[in-house]
């Protein structure tokens, strides 16, 4: 909304949420999340045409368009538990909109939802006996964390799905006009609402599939002596495949990929398409395998025991340039190492508070430390779990000096030059290429 408000100074944007603490933070100009460039963009329109409130009823009533961005986590109970999307927040929001609206509204699905959710929501919205209609559009979000502002400013495409009715098409046209203020028209795709909903799930599934594919190759590289980065380069230079999203590592994290793929698999199963469901699910299973084998490798390489050994985890965020740790591979790595009775030290430039909260039940066995040099001091091993640029620029000679010998380096993001690290003295274990171990 901050990016939209910047491009549409004549439109009033009201962001309403039930979480008073978050609203207070946004309203004070300090976003409660770390995202490069966001504070500056927010400052441009805050209190000009961008407002934050917990007063949801009036915000609904005043609006012509309502973007619904409530969370749709994986269901943890009942039918579809562990797979299907939990739509309780969406449905509750639809009922809230219906209760407070005193005129027609265009309701826009921003949350990632299963196919045909808009249809169900439109049904709920229009069952209030009111003399007007609510139009529901699908407008999925494709931004990635860490690059959110750039992705919103210059999206590869904007998707707007609507019903094939005249009122549905009129609503689509209204939303197109907003995006057209800064997005080239040929990048604004309009389509049927179900196609739009499915495109979002499909795009995330394709992205995650690339990561699991290259990670599957990385496992083969490690045993065969091939190097995954060389293979990725060769494969990615085929213009039909392309070079992006082929970085092998400790596995993908983030709040979306796992959830969306399991949701896609569930949809397939719901329609009896079990082979298709198995196909998509395998992407998630392989990702779990990649994370598990990374930890197994640490234990195995450190002479099958890490009991009492100090292991510094460089990075806890699920990717660089964010403080978000949802589904971060670091969670699993930290927990497994704690289980193995290692002395785990976590460092991260932005995610340390979140890490502390996540590991609260094992807090007595984990140390948190903002300075990577301090984290590595006296450590037997470093495991790089997030590709923060600062970790590339550290003085690894100094770090090596202060570590217990032999010093191990498990580079879960292939961030460092293995040869260089080996020459400093580390035993180096990259993902997807042969280890470099001193004799
Ligand atoms: C992802 C999609 O990229 C966005 O297009 C989408 O809008 C978003 O989910 C969403 O549905 O909300 P995000 O999860 O923020 O965005 O981050 P990504 O850049 O996709 O990274 C996801 C994970 O994959 C990270 O853990 C990252 O380290 C990992 N990754 C990425 C790799 O392991 N290798 C790669 O080559 C690329």
User: 246 and 364 share a domain?
Assistant: no
Domain count, the chain: 3
Give the integer Cα–Cα distance in Å for 264 and 268: 6
Report the pLDDT value the prediction gives residue 403, as an integer from 0 to 100.
98
**Which atom of ligand 1 is found nearest the CA of 145?**
15
**Which atom of ligand 1 is found nearest the CA of 413?**
33
Q: Show which of 220, 255, 288 is a domain's final residue.
A: 288
* 435 occurs within a structural domain: no
Angle at 346 between CA 255 and CA 381, to 5 degrees: 115
* 296 occurs within a structural domain: no
User: 339 and 237 share a domain?
Assistant: no
CATH code of 107's domain = 3.40.50.720
Give the integer Cα–Cα distance in Å for 331 and 121: 35
The distance from CA 284 to its chain's CA centroid, rounded to whole angstroms, is 14
User: Structure tokens of 106?
Assistant: 């265009």
* 85 occurs within a structural domain: yes
* 189 occurs within a structural domain: yes
The region, left, alpha or beta by phi > 0 then psi within -120 to 50, assigned to residue 146 is left
CA-nearest residue for atom 8, ligand 1, is: 144
Q: How far is the CA of 318 from the centre of ligand 1 (A)?
A: 9
Active site residue 268: no
CA-nearest residue for atom 33, ligand 1, is: 252
User: 23 and 137 share a domain?
Assistant: yes
Give the integer Cα–Cα distance in Å for 314 and 330: 9
Give the integer Cα–Cα distance in Å for 247 and 270: 33
Give yes or no for residue 246 CB within 6 A of ligand 1.
yes
User: 268 and 404 share a domain?
Assistant: no
- The predicted-structure confidence for 340-374, as pLDDT tens digits, reads as follows 999 999 999 999 999 999 999 999 999 999 999 99
**pLDDT tens track of the chain, all 439 residues?**
999 999 999 999 999 999 999 999 999 999 999 999 999 999 999 999 999 999 999 999 999 999 999 988 888 999 989 988 888 998 999 999 999 999 999 999 999 888 889 888 899 999 988 899 999 999 999 999 999 999 999 999 999 999 999 999 999 999 999 999 999 999 999 999 999 999 999 999 999 999 999 999 999 999 999 999 999 999 999 999 999 999 999 999 999 999 999 999 999 999 999 999 999 999 999 999 999 999 999 999 999 999 999 999 999 999 999 999 999 999 999 999 999 999 999 999 999 999 999 999 999 999 999 999 999 999 999 999 999 999 999 999 999 999 999 999 999 999 999 999 999 999 999 999 999 999 8
User: 177 and 41 share a domain?
Assistant: yes
* 439 occurs within a structural domain: no
Report the pLDDT value the prediction gives residue 139, as an integer from 0 to 100.
97
* 111 occurs within a structural domain: yes
Q: Show which of 194, 221, 237 is a domain's final residue.
A: 194
Give yes or no for residue 247 CB within 6 A of ligand 1.
yes
The CB density around residue 308, as the number of other CB atoms within 10 Å, is 9
Cβ contacts of residue 103 below 8 Å, gap of 6+?
Answer: 61, 132
Give yes or no for residue 318 CB within 6 A of ligand 1.
yes
Q: How far is the CA of 290 from the centre of ligand 1 (A)?
A: 16
The distance from CA 177 to its chain's CA centroid, rounded to whole angstroms, is 29
Nearest to 312 by CA among 378, 264, 216, 258: 378
* 297 occurs within a structural domain: no
User: 62 and 131 share a domain?
Assistant: yes
User: Structure tokens of 76?
Assistant: 């943890």
- The predicted-structure confidence for 89-133, as pLDDT tens digits, reads as follows 989 999 999 999 999 999 999 998 888 898 888 999 999 888 999
Give yes or no for residue 196 CB within 6 A of ligand 1.
no
319 and 250 in contact (C-beta within 8 Å)?
no
160 and 173 in contact (C-beta within 8 Å)?
no
Q: How far is the CA of 319 from the centre of ligand 1 (A)?
A: 8
Nearest to 266 by CA among 33, 421, 80, 76: 80
Q: Show which of 257, 288, 319 is a domain's final residue.
A: 288
- Quick one: 41 exposed, middle or buried, by C-beta within 10 A (0-12, 13-18, 19+)? buried
Give yes or no for residue 245 CB within 6 A of ligand 1.
yes
Give the integer Cα–Cα distance in Å for 154 and 183: 7
User: 19 and 115 share a domain?
Assistant: yes
Residue 398 lies in domain: 302-430
Give the integer Cα–Cα distance in Å for 238 and 309: 44
User: 185 and 243 share a domain?
Assistant: no
CA distances to 5, 172, 194, 355, 375 from 15, in Å: 11, 21, 26, 28, 40
User: 316 and 167 share a domain?
Assistant: no
273 and 314 in contact (C-beta within 8 Å)?
no
**Which atom of ligand 1 is found nearest the CA of 251?**
33
User: 213 and 255 share a domain?
Assistant: yes
Give yes or no for residue 145 CB within 6 A of ligand 1.
yes
At which residue do the structure tokens 């980065």 appear? Answer: 229
* 153 occurs within a structural domain: yes
CA-nearest residue for atom 20, ligand 1, is: 144
User: 48 and 121 share a domain?
Assistant: yes
CATH code of 284's domain = 1.10.1040.10
Prediction pTM value: 0.95
Q: How far is the CA of 81 from the centre of ligand 1 (A)?
A: 24
Beta bridge partners of 436: 428
Instruction: Compute and round to an integer the Cα radius of gyration of the chain.
Output: 24
User: 46 and 107 share a domain?
Assistant: yes
Give yes or no for residue 215 CB within 6 A of ligand 1.
no
């Amino acid at each position: 909304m901050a990016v939209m408000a910047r491009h549409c100074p004549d439109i009033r944007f009201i962001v309403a949420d039930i979480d008073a603490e978050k609203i207070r933070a946004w309203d004070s100009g300090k976003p409660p999340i770390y995202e490069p460039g966001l504070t500056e963009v927010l400052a441009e329109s805050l209190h000009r045409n961008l407002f934050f409130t917990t007063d949801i009823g009036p915000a609904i009533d005043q609006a012509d368009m309502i973007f619904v961005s409530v969370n749709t986590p994986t269901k943890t109970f009942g039918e579809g538990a562990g797979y299907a999307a939990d739509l309780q927040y969406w449905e509750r929001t639809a009922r809230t909109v219906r209760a407070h609206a005193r005129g027609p509204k265009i309701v826009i699905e921003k949350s990632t939802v299963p196919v045909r959710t808009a249809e169900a929501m439109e049904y709920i919205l229009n069952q209030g006996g009111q003399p007007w209609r609510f139009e529901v559009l699908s407008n999925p979000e494709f931004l990635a964390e860490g690059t959110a502002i750039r992705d919103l400013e210059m999206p590869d495409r904007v998707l707007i799905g609507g019903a094939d009715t005249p009122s549905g098409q009129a609503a689509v046209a209204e939303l197109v006009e907003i995006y057209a203020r800064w997005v080239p028209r040929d990048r604004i795709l309009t389509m049927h609402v179900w196609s739009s909903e499915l495109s979002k799930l499909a795009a995330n599934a394709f992205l995650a599939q690339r990561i699991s594919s290259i990670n599957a190759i990385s496992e083969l590289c490690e045993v065969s002596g091939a190097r995954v980065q060389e293979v990725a380069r060769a494969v990615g230079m085929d213009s039909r495949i392309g070079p992006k999203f082929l970085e092998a590592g400790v596995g993908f994290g983030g709040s979306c990929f796992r959830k969306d793929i399991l949701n896609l698999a569930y949809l397939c199963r719901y329609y009896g398409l079990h082979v298709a469901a198995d196909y998509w699910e395998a992407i998630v299973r392989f990702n779990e395998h990649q994370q598990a084998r990374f930890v197994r490798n640490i234990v195995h390489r450190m002479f099958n025991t890490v009991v009492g050994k100090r292991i510094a985890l460089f990075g806890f965020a699920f990717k660089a340039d964010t403080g978000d740790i949802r589904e971060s591979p670091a969670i699993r790595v930290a927990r497994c190492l704690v289980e193995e009775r290692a002395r785990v030290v976590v460092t991260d430039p932005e995610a340390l508070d979140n890490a502390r909260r996540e590991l609260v039940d094992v807090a007595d066995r984990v140390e948190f430390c903002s300075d990577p040099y301090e984290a590595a001091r006296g450590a037997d091993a470093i495991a790089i779990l997030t590709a923060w640029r600062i970790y590339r620029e550290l003085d690894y000679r100094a770090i090596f000096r202060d570590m217990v010998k032999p010093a191990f380096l498990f580079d879960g993001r292939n961030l460092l030059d293995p040869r260089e690290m080996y020459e400093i003295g580390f035993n180096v274990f990259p993902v997807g290429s042969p280890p470099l171990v001193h004799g």
